Amino acid sequence: MRILDSIDDALIKESRQKQEFFWLDLSDPSKEQIEHLGALLGLHPLAVEDSVKFGQRAKLDTYGDTALLVLQGGVESEPEDENPHPLEEVHCHLSGDFIVTVHRNPYSELHDLREQFTRSNSPKTERYYVYKIVDVIVDSYFPMLADLDEQINDLEDAIVSGAGRRELEETFRLKRLLLRLRKAVVPMRDVFARQIEVITDLAGLEPDSHDYFRDIYDHLIRICDELDSYHEMVASCTDLYLSTVANKQGATSKQLAIIASIFLPLSFLTGFFGMNFSWEVGHVLVGPLAFFLLGLGTMVASACLMWWWFHHKGWTRADG
């Protein structure tokens, strides 16, 4: 198989004349380049228009002897970083003579696969090359899923340690990311579930190539299942955050209730001795000893008694 990374009219015409299967991988081509490529390879005008505009849902459109397969590949990022570009839309123009992949940004998975094909000396069938290209795009989600698993586990630990605004924002970010990934993967799963035979027939591949695409379908099912499980885990993080906040509020309310209960008898004592009855002033509150014993002493004793009672009931413990 011949591998190209730019539009070379002479090489493309030579490959088609010799019926040599080739792979052309284009990154961020211009509108004029795509239209020129469409005229060179005889692509359908609607397929050319889709590759010019991009922003397509995962789908498979067949046009005679050619087909347009639109896929959404995953773009891996480090777990601690927010990834503003988690998906890469890849247009695969399929035929029995060639496969053309078009994407807006440099895509490392396809670049690595090109180098792998270049180093390999063993000849492969056309169906294998098509399968491998599509399989690399689909399997690009697995590193992302591993990163998401670590992020969700770290988020759970952070919420248990102390739920704050940062953890809440991280929870909603993961929810939005998982929803975006699922919207990209589910249509691809549906395409491979319903139109596997269409790909093998109209792309000019061997009849048994549907076994390869069934393997891709199995990978897509696994990815969807993991995304669903991660979505449930993030939803449980939301419940954990709310329960943690409620526990904090309950602990704060308990502390305030204890303080208010301790000051309740103090307020009663100061109010009672502050009424200045003539008998009380003349017979009870006389001298400094009465001030320290009856005034301060009773307040200290009542506060100590209340604290002992709360401790005895277990209300002062963190898990009380």
Q: What is the pTM of this model?
A: 0.73
pLDDT recorded at residue 16: 81
**Does residue 156 sit in the same domain as residue 222?**
yes
**Does residue 125 sit in the same domain as residue 257?**
no
pLDDT recorded at residue 221: 93
**Does residue 276 sit in the same domain as residue 304?**
yes
Q: Which domain holds residue 155?
A: 2-245
Does residue 318 fall inside a structural domain?
no
Does residue 320 fall inside a structural domain?
no
- The CATH number given to whatever domain includes residue 226 is 3.30.460.20
Domain boundary residue, one of 211, 226, 245: 245
Does residue 289 fall inside a structural domain?
yes
**Does residue 209 sit in the same domain as residue 305?**
no
Domain boundary residue, one of 213, 245, 277: 245
* Tokens describing residue 188: 């691809």
pLDDT recorded at residue 79: 45
Residue ranges of the chain with per-residue pLDDT less than 70: 77-85, 163, 198-211, 247, 249, 251, 269, 272-295, 313-320
Q: What is the pLDDT of residues 193-226, one digit of tens each?
A: 887 776 666 555 555 555 677 888 899 999 999 9
The span from the CA of 256 to the CA of 272, in Å, is 24
Domain count, the chain: 2
pLDDT recorded at residue 239: 76
The span from the CA of 134 to the CA of 28, in Å, is 19
**Does residue 192 sit in the same domain as residue 126?**
yes
**Does residue 176 sit in the same domain as residue 281?**
no
pLDDT recorded at residue 101: 92
**Does residue 124 sit in the same domain as residue 266?**
no
